[in-house]
Structure 1
Amino acid sequence: MCATFAYAQKSSETILEPTQDSIKKRAFIKHLGNGYLPTKYFNFDLRYLIKYNQYEAVRTGLGGVTNQNFSEKYRITGYGVYGFRDHTFKYSIGGGFRLAEKTNTWVNLSYTDDLRETGSTKFLTDGRFFQFFEPRLLNIDLFHKLITKSINLEHQLNPKLFTEAEFAVSNINPTYNYGYVLDNTIVNSFHISTAKLSLQWNPFSKFEVSENTLKQTKKGYPQFTLQYTKSFKDVFKSDFNFSKLDFRTVYKIGSEDHGLSEITLVSGITNGNTPLTHLYHAYPNNINKSTIMQRFSVAGLNSFETMYFNEFFSDKFTTVQFKHYLKPFNISEHYKPQIVLITRYALGDIKQPELHQNVTFGSLKKGYTESGFELNKLLFGFGLSFTYRYGAYHLPEFSNNIALKFTFNVTL
């Protein structure tokens, strides 16, 4: 009996140890895929290690968030980075506490002193989106400095509907020569106090509760995101009174292994006195250089590759992007290049461009179109992208309508 028991125990250990190691390995890889390097009490955030843009050049630092081993009810977040061209240190510090476990309700506070791309819009409910390489960031040159104090509330109404609300007070100072005509006075830096409400609805996704944590087991489509922003004049010395409504939907059908079609629609509209910092730029990704090879860079995931940076700004816009992933070429088990067919369309307008001083930009009211293809995963995750600009905004010089770039795709 003893010998049998000892053998069973040894056999159990032999079987369980690799299983436990495998589980730990999968969890570690998942953390890396989400952009974290986990330690016992603190997960380092890989987004802040190193980046590059036209204003800061190399930007490097450290950041992270405490994990459940530290506390299941409280968390501390923060980062610190340094730009080698502007010789400036940027940072953010914050924390949160959980109000209700069942609805995953958290209250978060933060203080941030950093840069933000002018004309960009971020949805509060966007989960953590991590890329080893952020293509558009390399070429961005239009940033504004901001110091923001915010309080945020996260709440899961049900597994398929997640909400966030935020109140923030920001001091904004463009890094470029810019002025906005406000009440017959040109303002070059300003204060903005905003309230935001964001909803993320994934009606066709599937979820399950595991270890008291709600986990998504299947991504279903379409998915919908809606966000309303209101700026209040004279609240905490705010200079502007405007509102914004932003919407996004993503629909996918098929699979990348057998052919996948993806449609992304993004739309936004502002009302009231809105500075350039809070308008829309339609996500351009083309450098203002004269030749195709001088413009050779990295293609983004959802950006307009032939649209030049700072070429267009809008107070209302809509973009539609269609991608079709053809079945990968099955050359070998580990070498499977893939062709992606792409078409993008943008439509927008702006009411009073003359209010924006010392900047020149165009309107998208005629409709902007580009099409092309990507040949991905040719070597070590790298590929090539070719895009052509045509239609109402076709440029007289033929070569200026062409964008030739490389792509980078790595999946953990």
Structure 2
Amino acid sequence: MHKVVCLIIITLCTCALYSQTPKTKKDSLSKKEFIKQLGNGFFPTKHVNIDMKYLIKYNQYEGLRTGLGGVTNDEFSETYRINSYVVYGFKDHRFKYKIGGGFRVNEPTNTWVNFSYTDDLQESGSSTFLTDKRFFSFFEPRLLNIDLFHKHITKAISLEHKFSENLLTELEIATSKIEPTYSYMFNVDDTSYRIFDITSAKVALQWSPFNSNEVNEKGISEVKEGYPKFTLQVSQSVKNNIKGDFNFFKTDFRTIHRFIHNEYSFTEATITTGLATGNTPLTHLYHAYPNNITKETILQRFSVAGINSFETMYFNEFFSDRFTTLQLKHFIKPFKITERYRPQLVLISRMAIGDMHDIERHQNIEFGTLSKGYSEAGFEINKLLFGFGLSFAYRYGGYHLPRYADNIAAKFTFNVSL
């Protein structure tokens, strides 16, 4: 494994160093394009875009996590690409890495075939969409306090295809060996699984019917983001004699809509649903993106607020095999203190409901369900100083806690846009 890690490091460093060769005026990046790449989390060089999200992170299991990653760009090749990374956790003393690449089979439809081998960690209960745009932030707030991870070694092949400028699709077939880092056992038909294999196929569709695009010298690019947006993903895991221990089916759906009131004020609504049937282990079920640590006082729980997380919900408090969340954010016109200093007030309301069949199959871990409906409300005052702000949230309804202070979350926010 160390040979593989060294190979990735040498390859990335060699490409990065080679990319620093002087450029002509014609192929140099414009300032606008450079800033855009930084905003997407990449430091662009001539042949490789260095992926900044691997530089430094922190979580409860790995402690400090640091490494190097990157993806080749069109200057390297418009037909082939390499996408790899290597990181090291100083608390678990372990390297993690991905070796990946792909080739384009059709330019007009931007059809790519991708391959990857990944040895890394993943948060248990998290669910992502294959077609999601790359998300990057200087902080990943929830990551700081997550402690429930599982190791996975995943081999995957995927197909990206653009049916139209407003409809993106991706298909992935993968096999994974899963090992929870906590003392979890999954009991199926009187057999308890500590480590298990999963073979799955996923299909995701992202439909943005109201996006506006334009044709320029670089092809077609988005000029206006329209709403609503819809994302659907279905996956089937198959039990077999080679690399599959369980049969289960999952479907996930998300829609985002913005109600524009005027040039400065709008309301954003996000609905997310998930359903898992069959013999689904906890690693592949759902939490509702909690972001509160189990500490005694409000100040001890003071951390950084997430973007779409439940700030008063404690980590590992709830899991579901079917759930729905609704998040409402009302952005009020920024306060114009000076031309550059404009804090903004955001009113927030979040709700979640869910449940779980056969909860007794999940052993050596305690959690509740969302069957009574979870509610919280609060507000943020963003961009008070250097992108930092403050967030306050209050938990009420069916899961209101007996001690008043346990229902309150006070945190930093961090918002920077390039």
TM-score normalized by structure 2?
Answer: 0.92
SS across alignment from 1:288:
coil
The equivalent of 1:293 in structure 2 is: 299
The aligned counterpart of 1:218 is 224
5 Å matches for 1:106-185?
A: 106-185=112-191
Q: Which has the larger radius of gyration?
A: 1
What SS does the aligned partner of 1:236 have?
Answer: coil
The answer (yes or no) to whether the contact 1:169–1:236 under 8 Å persists in 2 is: no
Could you tell me which residue of structure 2 aligns to residue 92 of structure 1?
98
Residue 398 (1) aligns with residue 404 (2):
yes
| Distance in 1 between residues matched to 2:106 and 2:233, nearest whole Å | 23
Structure 2 match to 1:334: 340
- CA–CA separation in structure 1 for the residues paired with 2:29 and 2:202: 39
Could you tell me how far apart the structure 2 residues matched to 1:113 and 1:218 are? 38
Q: Distance in 2 between matches of 1:355 and 1:400?
A: 30
2:354 maps to 348
Aligned counterpart, 1:261: 267
8 Å Cα contact 1:31-1:38 kept in structure 2: yes
Instruction: Give the deviation of 1:124 after TM superposition.
Output: 0.1
* Mapping for residues 53-72 of structure 1, pairs under 5 Å: 53-72=59-78
Could you tell me which runs of 5 or more consecutive residues in structure 1 were left unpaired when the two chains were aligned: 1-18
Local SS of the residue matching 2:360:
helix
CA contact (8 A) 2:175 2:243 kept: no
1:202 deviates by 0.1
Distance verdict in 2 for CA 1:48–1:334, change over 3 Å: same
User: Cα distance 1:300–1:46, how it changes in 2: closer, same or farther (>3 A)?
Assistant: same
Distance in 2 between the 1:236 and 1:312 partners? 33
CA shift for structure 1 position 235 = 5.7
- Correspondence 1:314 to 2:320: yes
SS of the residue 2:81 aligns to: strand
| Stretch moving more, 54-63 or 250-259 | 250-259
> What are the Cα deviations for residues 172-198 of structure 1, in whole angstroms up to 9, with x where unaligned?
000000000012111101000000000
Moved more, 256-265 or 309-318: 256-265
Q: Secondary structure at the match of 1:237?
A: coil
Aligned pair partner of 1:372 in 369, 378, 381 = 378
* Deviation, structure 1 residue 291: 0.7
Runs of at least 4 residues off by over 3 Å: 19-23
Distance 1:66 1:180, change over 3 A: same
Give 1:22 deviation, angstroms. Answer: 11
Q: Structure 1 pair 185/23, CA: closer, same or farther in 2 (3 Å)?
A: closer
Q: 1:281 aligns with which of 287, 292, 298?
A: 287
Determine the structure 1 residue equivalent to 2:81.
75
Identify the residue that residue 12 of structure 1 maps to in structure 2. Answer: none
* Aligned-partner Cα distance in 1 for 2:354–2:343: 36
- Which residues of structure 2 form unaligned runs of 5+? 1-24
Change beyond 3 A, Cα 1:385–1:111: same
CA distance in 2, matches of 1:341, 1:375: 9
- Secondary structure, in 3 states, of the residue corresponding to 2:125? coil
Residue 186 in structure 1 maps to residue 192 in structure 2: yes
> Separation in 1 of the partners of 2:393 and 2:75?
48
8 A contact 1:257–1:328 mirrored in 2: no
- Aligned CA distance change for structure 1 residues 219 and 311 (closer, same or farther; 3 Å): same
Q: CA deviation at 1:212?
A: 5.2
Counterpart amino acid of residue 97 in structure 2 = Y
1:407 maps to which residue?
Answer: 413
Query: Quick check: 1:359 aligned with 2:398?
Result: no
Inter-CA distance 256–198: structure 2 relative to 1 (3 Å threshold) = farther
User: What TM-score do the two structures reach when normalised by structure 1?
Assistant: 0.94
Amino acid at match of 1:178: Y
Please say if 1:26 is aligned against 2:48.
no
Question: Cα gap change, 1:257/1:331 in structure 2, threshold over 3 Å: closer, same or farther?
Answer: farther
For 1:24-62, what per-residue CA distance to the aligned partner results, in whole angstroms no more than 9, with x for missing partners? 111100010010001111100000000000100110000
Residues 27 and 255 of structure 1: is their aligned pair in 2 closer, same or farther, counting only changes over 3 Å? Answer: farther
CA distance in 2, matches of 1:290, 1:210: 57
- 1:128-168: CA deviation from partner (whole Å, max 9, x where unpaired): 11111111110100000000000000000000000000000
Change in 2 beyond 3 A, CA 1:22/1:192:
closer
Amino acid at match of 2:389: G
In structure 2, C-alpha distance between the alignment counterparts of 1:23 and 1:357, rounded to whole Å: 54
Q: How much identity, in percent, do the aligned residues show?
A: 64
- Structure 1 residue 210 displacement after superposition: 2.6
1:52 matches 2:63: no
Shift of 1:217: 1.0
CA distance in 1, matches of 2:55, 2:256: 30
Q: Give the letter for the 2:209 counterpart.
A: P
Q: Which of 307, 310, 315 in structure 2 is aligned with 1:304?
A: 310
Report what 2:388 is aligned to.
Answer: 382
